[in-house]
Amino acid sequence: MLSLILILIAATFFSGIIIRTKSLASGRKGPGIFQPVSDVIRLFRKGVVYSKTTSFIFRIAPTIYFASIIMAMLTIPFGQNKGIISFDGDFIFFAYVLALGKFFSIIGALDTGSSFEGMGASREALYSMFAEPAFFILMGSLALLSGHTSFYQIFAALHLGSQISYALAILATFVLLMIAMIESSRMPIDDPKTHLELTMIHEVMILDNSGFDLGLILTAGYLKFAIYGALIVNLFIGSIPLQYSVPSFFAIQFLLAVSIGLIESFMARFRMSHNPQFIVALTSVSLLIFFAVLLILEKFI
């Protein structure tokens, strides 16, 4: 329950800090930190408009997408505190419940019959497929190192005490951060502010969503950022007492949000043809972690 509360709190300011960082980096004052939350609340008060060409799939897709994020959030532990849902192999459940939500968002976009939304859905599916091996190799490596297969047991058994363990944690942080940016359709993979249909990915998928449904989609995106941030936090806090781990949680989430804001401020968006190469390269980083774990466990012959 503690991780759920902390993730909800972090999600309220994560995207706002990213926007604020980008504004300051470009010399602008920019909106307040809680502007994204204000925008979502305004959307929740509005009605929803459905096209006559869409079916019930388009109507239920935002709700299922949001519900999948909530279900994934329930599996996240916090230090020595289990997630609400915790069992052996729960990281597989985490990955595929997110995939279920992504699937419904994709077919919801296809259901509109728009060629532009179909193009965005195709790219979204491709990039998610490329990012999946990196996540499973990373979590499989941590499971091999700890000897456990659930989020709670894996993170509880990790102890950073040597140079190689810190190196593994830094590499794992990089992989999870990049996966979060890919899954949330952020720079340098996608630009959430672009209005050019031929270069849009996630934004073109939700062009027909409005009102309450659009609010659910945006809220799910904010929660997804905080979820991946919570996974990164768990790499470092271990068995630290609550009076230190809770401030560490918010400090690391803040640093992640600032890092993403700086990345988006000083990096140009990749060309579409380069995106798959970059995403597949994350698998190589995960393989480095895997080989390092084999070295630690002396599994090499």
pLDDT at 69: 92
Q: What is the pLDDT of residues 145-185, one digit of tens each?
A: 888 888 888 888 776 655 667 788 888 888 888 888 888 77
pLDDT at 81: 81
The 3-state DSSP class for residue 212 equals helix
> Is the pLDDT score of 3 beyond 70?
yes
> Is the pLDDT score of 66 beyond 90?
yes
Enclosing H/E stretch for 101? helix 90-111
User: Can you give the pTM of this predicted structure?
Assistant: 0.88
Lowest pLDDT segment from 26-30, 198-202, 255-259 = 198-202
> Is the pLDDT score of 189 beyond 70?
no
- Choose between 216 and 265: higher pLDDT: 216
> Is the pLDDT score of 198 beyond 70?
no
Average pLDDT over all residues of the chain: 83
pLDDT at 113: 78
149 vs 285: CA distance, rounded Å = 21
Which sequence spans correspond to the domains of the chain? 2-26+33-296
HSE at residue 149, side-chain half, CA atoms within 13 A, is 7
- Is residue 284 classed exposed, middle or buried when 0-12, 13-18 and 19+ CB atoms within 10 A define those classes? exposed
Beta partners for residue 78, in sequence order: 81
pLDDT at 100: 92
> Is the pLDDT score of 71 beyond 90?
yes
88 vs 6: CA distance, rounded Å = 23
> Is the pLDDT score of 16 beyond 70?
yes
Band the pLDDT of 279: cuts 50, 70, 90. confident
pLDDT at 63: 92
The 3-state DSSP class for residue 37 equals helix
Lowest pLDDT segment from 105-109, 127-131, 231-235 = 127-131
Helix boundaries (H) for 112-208: 115-146, 151-157, 163-183, 202-205
Length of the chain: 301
How many percent of the chain have pLDDT more than 90?
10
Lowest pLDDT segment from 102-111, 115-124, 224-233, 269-278 = 269-278
Which residue shows structure tokens 């593994």? 168
Is 129 in contact with 122 (CB distance < 8 Å)?
no
